[in-house]
Chains A and B, each alone.
Chain A
C-alpha cells in the first residue's frame, strides 16, 4: 500500500516537473486572486483590520479548487484513473497518493502566498511561524482531503467543473472559519495561544474525521 502511494506521488511529481503546468497556473491564479482582493479591499492605502487572514484563505480555497479540477482532468485524458483503479493495490492508496500530491502543490503555493499577503495587507502573519505553519498545513490538509474525494468522484460526471465548488465550499466551511480565525489570532499584536490552539485542534479533528471518512467511501463511490 505504501509503495503504491509513493509510486503515485512520484509519478505526479515527475509529470509536474516535466510540464510545470499545474504549479505555474495555480501559483499565478492565487497571486491574481490576492491582487483582485487587494484592489477591492484596500481603501485609502490601508487595508481594513484583519482582512489579510481572510484574503489568504480565500486565495487558498479558490486556487485549491482550480488545482483539484486540473489534477483530475489530467487523469481523465487517456482514462488513467481507470487504469489506477485496476491495479491490485488497495483503492484507498490511489486516494492517498493523489491527496499527497495536491497537498504538496498547495503548500508550495502557500509558501508564496503567505509572505505576499503579509506584505500587501500589512498583516502580522509572520510573527509566529510555528503556529502559522501548523494552522496552514492542517487547514490545507482538511480542504484537500475533502476536495480530492469530491474531484475524484466527479471525474466521470457531467458539469464537473462547476459541481466541484458547489459541493466543496459548503463542506469546507469549518476549515475556512477555523483557518481564518486562527490566522487572525496569530496576526494580532497580543498573541493568545489558547485561541490558536482551539482552532488548531478543531482543524486536526476535522482532518482525522474526514480523511477516515474519505478512505471508507472512496471505493464504493468510485466503483460503478
Chain B
C-alpha cells in the first residue's frame, strides 16, 4: 500500500467524526425537523452509488475489450462499492421519505431506477461468486448491459408513473448546496476512493499469490 494510504484513512476517519457536528450546525429545516439531516448522508451515498456504477460499467467495457485483469479488479471493487453505498442510499432514503412524504417508499423515477440499478450490481456480485470459473468475463458483460440500460430504465420508470396523473406528487427536494453538504460529499467520496484502493490492492495481492503458485509449480 502506498505511503499516503494510512494518513489519508486517518483523515477520512477524522472528517467523518466531525461530520455530525457540521451537520448539526447546518440550518435547521423548518418543515422537516431533525430527520432532514439524514439527507446529508443520503445524497452523498446516492452520488457515490452512481459513480461506482459508472466506474464498474466503464471498467467492464475496457476489460472485455483488452482482457487486462486490472480492469476486472477495478470493476469488481466498483461493484462492491455500488452495492454497499446503494444499500446505504436505499435505507437512508425511506428514513427521510417517511418524514417528508409520509410514506416509506414511493415509486418515483429516480428511486425506482436506483433500486433496479442496485439489483443489477447485486446480480454482478452473485454471478462472480456463484458462476464458477470464467465468471469475470460474464459479469463484465452483465455490467455493460446494465450500463447501457440506465437510460431505458429511467425513461420507462419515469413515464410509467407520470403518463397519467400520479396520485401523489413528488416534491422538489429542498436543500441548499451549502457547506455541510459539500463536507459530507467530500467524506463519502474520500471513503469510496480509499475503499476501492484497498479492495483493488487485495485483489492484486491475490493475483500475485496465484502467479507465485504457478511459477513454483514450474520449478518443480
Binding site for B on A (CB under 8 A): 146, 149-150, 153-154, 156-159, 163, 166-167, 170-171, 173-174, 177-178, 181, 195, 198-199, 202, 205-206, 209-210, 213, 217, 220-221, 224
| Closest beta carbon of chain B to A149's beta carbon, Å | 7
Task: Assess whether B132 is in contact with A210, with CB atoms less than 8 Å apart.
Answer: no
Question: Is residue B149 within 8 Å, beta carbon to beta carbon, of the partner chain?
Answer: yes
Complex Cα spacing A167 to B116, Å: 11
Complex Cα spacing A181 to B82, Å: 30
Q: Which residue of B lies closest to A165 (CB)?
A: B123
What is the number of residues of chain B that contact chain A, defined by CB distance less than 8 Å? 31
**Among residues 108 to 157 in chain B, which have CB atoms less than 8 Å away from a CB atom of chain A?**
116, 119-120, 123, 126-127, 130-132, 134-135, 137-138, 140-142, 144-146, 148-149, 152-153, 155-157
Task: Assess whether A173 is in contact with B131, with CB atoms less than 8 Å apart.
Answer: no
Complex Cα spacing A13 to B189, Å: 54
Task: Assess whether A157 is in contact with B135, with CB atoms less than 8 Å apart.
Answer: yes
Complex Cα spacing A173 to B153, Å: 7
Interface of A is mostly: helix
Task: Assess whether B153 is in contact with A174, with CB atoms less than 8 Å apart.
Answer: yes
Task: Assess whether B123 is in contact with A221, with CB atoms less than 8 Å apart.
Answer: no
Contacting residues, chain A, for B135 (C-beta < 8 A): 157
**8 Å CB contact of A158 from B131, B137, B144:** B131
**8 Å CB contact of B141 from A153, A166, A170:** A153
Q: 1/0 per residue B60-85: CB within 8 Å of A?
A: 00001100000000000000000000
Question: Is residue B159 within 8 Å, beta carbon to beta carbon, of the partner chain?
Answer: yes
Contacting residues, chain B, for A157 (C-beta < 8 A): 127, 131-132, 134-135, 138
**8 Å CB contact of A167 from B64, B123, B140, B153:** B123
Question: Is residue B216 within 8 Å, beta carbon to beta carbon, of the partner chain?
Answer: no
Task: Assess whether B64 is in contact with A217, with CB atoms less than 8 Å apart.
Answer: yes
Question: Is residue B10 within 8 Å, beta carbon to beta carbon, of the partner chain?
Answer: no
Task: Assess whether A166 is in contact with B153, with CB atoms less than 8 Å apart.
Answer: no
| Closest beta carbon of chain A to B15's beta carbon, Å | 34
Q: Which residue of A lies closest to B158 (CB)?
A: A177
Complex Cα spacing A157 to B137, Å: 11
Question: Is residue B28 within 8 Å, beta carbon to beta carbon, of the partner chain?
Answer: no
Complex Cα spacing A166 to B137, Å: 17
Contacting residues, chain A, for B120 (C-beta < 8 A): 170-171
Question: Is residue B160 within 8 Å, beta carbon to beta carbon, of the partner chain?
Answer: yes
Task: Assess whether B146 is in contact with A198, with CB atoms less than 8 Å apart.
Answer: no
The answer to whether residues A146 and B131 also contact, given A154-B138, A206-B152 and a CB cut-off of 8 A, is no
Q: 1/0 per residue B150-172: CB within 8 Å of A?
A: 00110111011001000000000
Given contacts A170-B120, A170-B123, list 9 more A-B pairs with CB under 8 A. Answer: A154-B131, A159-B131, A163-B130, A171-B146, A171-B149, A173-B156, A202-B156, A205-B152, A209-B152
Of the candidates B116, B120, B127, B156, the one having the most CB atoms from chain A within 10 angstroms of its own CB is B156
Listed A/B pairs (11) with beta-carbon separation below 8 Å? A149-B145, A157-B127, A158-B130, A170-B120, A170-B146, A173-B156, A177-B157, A181-B159, A198-B159, A202-B156, A209-B148
